[in-house]
């Protein structure tokens, strides 16, 4: 091919940007356009990570450097499936990589889960991260709250519910989120895992951060510190598991301190039913579980009712089906072979690839996405000689297409403008930035020079 390989990447979160990075670093002659349905890039870094995680958000600096590279363009506020379809993209690009992540809550099929006061963690995260497509208000009237799940998202939700509004004010939270947290009535937050401490999916840093707040007292029941042979094998086989277990053991044997809000970590409690009256949450019923020897658990038939007025399920994220792209609704992923999208007959879909959580499911830390993206890029470049060439590969053609459809897209320079605008909002208050929530304001700020 006498011209650069033209590639579209749909989704400007970490997976999409790591895919761009792998393409640029491959040595192949490439020209890459990154499409994002939000006006701003960075995906879950901006809209899925708790705002009090500055170290994780520092990844943005590395992602910035990728998007600053020549031969890379960003088109924000462009929604795949609404603004264009796969075949339309293929008109302008030799190949398309989908990296749209996972943003929906995985369902939990227990009685009462649909009661008022029962929420998905993804929706709550979108609220406190200022996602423009979600409500500006959140009901925080519950005095006692249950969080279902034993992963980092559950910890994020529990920590935000337990922290004071003043502690969160030093972050980039929007004004409406601060106002909502000021009205938060929660004094006790209960996190429930159906298995034991050695099976928890917390990372050590995120777990220990719970104890750094001057307003949160972390409470662990000594009876929940229990191990079988499978648990001991897991502890010996993983430094991360060993660190998590030791932290939980230390908390279980200490006296409960005087901090005003209590965050209770419960293990061996499987959610069985959300209790309610008059259509609202009034409690949670859990079944006590026990280890079976290999690290798995079984129910004991012993149930406990907890007096809570709100329930948040943090049992996993789920990707959503993309128009004209094959999708496995059971796993919530796009069928693929080494990143090559497969049709229902397991044949590769020409010129279509996938990376990130929509490829492998919402597992692993952000850094794990690099290897996933590299695998996809290797497949794409191996296929390059046989790809159907784009009918209109001129980079100006797709811009003309978007303008013809009157799509109000943002650019990489637009993000820099929005970034400067948000930082300017925070400056008078001694804050690094105040995040803009309204899409219209984001677009307006992006246009400023």
pLDDT at 340 over 70: yes
Tell me if 243 is assigned to some domain.
Answer: yes
From residue 15, alpha-carbon distances to 49, 63, 118, 163 in Å are: 15, 10, 31, 30
Query: Structurally, how many domains does the chain consist of?
Result: 2
CATH number of the CATH domain containing 68: 3.40.50.720
| Residue 325 shares a structural domain with residue 383 | yes
CATH code for the domain of 161: 3.50.50.60
One domain for residues 178 and 250: yes
266 in the same domain as 163: yes
Whether residue 148 sits in one domain with residue 89: no
Range of the domain at 203: 104-317
pLDDT for the residue numbered 61: 86
Q: How confident is the model at residue 53 (pLDDT cuts 50, 70, 90)?
A: confident
pLDDT in tens, 67-95: 999 999 999 999 999 999 999 999 999 99
> What percentage of residues in the chain have a pLDDT greater than 90?
90
SS3 of residue 368 by DSSP: helix
Q: Is residue 427 part of a domain?
A: no
Query: How many other CB atoms sit within 10 Å of the CB of residue 267?
Result: 24
Mean pLDDT of the 175-195 span: 97
Instruction: Examine the domain organization and report whether 346 and 300 are in the same domain.
Output: no
Residues 412 and 42: their CA atoms lie apart, in Å, by 12
Over residues 238-289, the pLDDT tens digits come to 999 999 999 999 999 999 999 999 999 999 999 999 999 999 999 999 999 9
Last residue within a domain, chosen from 286, 317, 348? 317
Strands 310-313 and 30-36: unpaired
pLDDT confidence of residue 148:
98
For residues 330 and 319, the answer to whether their CB atoms sit within 8 Å is no
More confident residue, 356 or 53: 356
Q: Kindly state whether residue 69 falls inside one of the protein's structural domains.
A: yes
pLDDT at 1: 65
Count of beta carbons in the 10 Å neighbourhood of residue 132: 18
Q: What is the pLDDT of residue 60?
A: 85
101 Rama sector, left if φ>0, alpha if ψ -120 to 50, beta otherwise: left
Q: Where are the beta strands (DSSP E) in 169-307?
A: 188-192, 216-220, 261-266, 269-277, 280-291, 297-306
CA gap 87, 85 in Å, rounded: 6
Do 379 and 261 share a domain, yes or no?
no
DSSP 254: S
What is the percent of the chain with per-residue pLDDT over 70, rounded to a whole number? 98
Residue 387 belongs to some domain of the structure: yes
Residues 188 and 125 in one domain: yes
Q: What is the pLDDT of residue 449?
A: 65
* Residue owning tokens 């200022």: 130
Residues 117-128 have pLDDT tens digits of 999 999 999 999
Task: Report residue 66 CA to chain centroid gap.
Answer: 21
- Residue 58 shares a structural domain with residue 185: no
The confidence score (pLDDT) of residue 58 equals 72
* Whether residue 155 has pLDDT greater than 90: yes
The CA distance from 65 to 88, in Å, is: 29
Could you tell me if 298 and 332 lie in one domain?
Answer: no
Supply the pLDDT for residue 224: 97
The predicted model gives 17-38 an average pLDDT of 96
Query: Do 279 and 378 fall within a single domain?
Result: no
Say if residue 362's pLDDT is above 90: no
| pLDDT number for residue 93 | 98
The CA distance from 199 to 253, in Å, is: 20
pTM summary value: 0.93
Based on the domain organization, do 341 and 202 belong to the same domain? Answer: no
pLDDT at residue number 89: 95
Q: Does the residue 419 lie in any domain? A: no
Joined together, the tokens standing for residue 337 give 């072979």
394-421 per-position pLDDT tens digit = 999 999 999 999 999 999 999 999 999 9
Same domain, 89 and 215: no
Residue 424 resides in a domain:
no
Higher pLDDT, 435 or 61: 435
pLDDT of residue 109: 95
| pLDDT-based confidence at residue 56 (cuts at 50, 70, 90) | confident
Average pLDDT score over the chain: 95
State how far Cα 327 lies from the chain centre: 20
Token output for 355: 């990376």
Cβ atoms < 10 Å from Cβ of 294: 11
Q: pLDDT digit string (tens) for 342-353?
A: 999 999 999 999
Beta-strand relationship, 340-342 and 348-354: antiparallel
Question: Over the stretch 216-243, which tens digit does the pLDDT of each residue have?
Answer: 999 999 999 999 999 999 999 999 999 9
At 448 the pLDDT is 81
pLDDT tens-place string over residues 6-22: 999 999 999 999 999 99
């Amino acid at each position: 091919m006498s011209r650069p390989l033209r590639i579209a990447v749909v989704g400007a979160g970490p997976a999409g940007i790591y895919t761009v990075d792998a393409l640029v670093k491959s040595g192949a002659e490439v020209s890459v356009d990154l499409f994002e349905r939000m006006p701003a890039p960075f995906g879950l870094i901006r809209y899925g990570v708790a705002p009090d995680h500055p170290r994780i958000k520092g990844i943005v600096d590395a992602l910035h450097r990728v998007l600053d590279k020549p031969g890379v363009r960003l088109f924000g506020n462009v929604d795949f499936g609404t603004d264009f379809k796969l075949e339309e993209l293929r008109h302008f690009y030799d190949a398309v990589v989908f990296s749209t992540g996972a943003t929906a809550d995985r369902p939990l099929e227990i009685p009462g889960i649909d009661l008022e006061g029962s929420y998905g963690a993804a929706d709550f995260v979108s609220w406190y991260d200022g996602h423009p497509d979600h409500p500006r208000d959140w009901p925080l009237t519950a005095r006692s709250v249950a969080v279902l799940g034993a992963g980092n998202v559950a910890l994020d939700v529990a920590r935000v519910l337990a922290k004071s509004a003043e502690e969160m004010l030093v972050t980039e939270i929007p004004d409406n989120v601060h106002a909502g947290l000021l009205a938060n009535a929660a004094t006790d937050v209960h996190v429930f895992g159906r298995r034991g401490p050695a099976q928890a999916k917390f990372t050590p840093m995120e777990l220990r951060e719970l104890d750094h707040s001057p307003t949160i007292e972390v409470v662990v029941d000594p009876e929940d510190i229990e191990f079988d042979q499978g648990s001991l094998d897991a502890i010996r086989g993983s430094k991360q598991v060993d660190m998590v277990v030791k932290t939980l053991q230390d908390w279980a044997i200490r006296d409960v301190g005087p901090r005003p809000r209590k965050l209770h970590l419960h293990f061996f409690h499987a959610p069985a039913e959300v209790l309610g009256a008059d259509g609202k949450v009034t409690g949670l019923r859990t079944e006590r579980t026990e280890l079976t020897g290999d690290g798995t658990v079984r129910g004991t038939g012993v149930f406990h009712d907890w007096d809570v007025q709100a329930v948040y399920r943090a049992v996993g994220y789920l990707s959503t089906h993309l128009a004209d792209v094959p999708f496995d609704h059971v796993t919530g992923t796009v069928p693929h072979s080494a990143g090559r999208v497969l049709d229902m007959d397991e044949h590769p879909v020409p010129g279509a690839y996938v990376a990130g959580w929509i490829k492998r499911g919402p597992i692993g830390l952000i850094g794990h996405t690099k290897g996933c993206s590299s695998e996809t890029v290797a497949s794409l470049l191996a296929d390059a000689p046989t790809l159907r060439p784009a009918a209109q590969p001129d980079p100006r053609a797709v811009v003309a297409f978007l303008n013809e459809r009157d799509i109000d897209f943002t650019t990489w320079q637009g993000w820099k403008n929005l970034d400067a605008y948000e930082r300017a909002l925070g400056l008078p208050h001694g804050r690094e930035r105040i995040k803009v929530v309204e899409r219209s304001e984001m677009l307006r700020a992006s246009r400023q020079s």
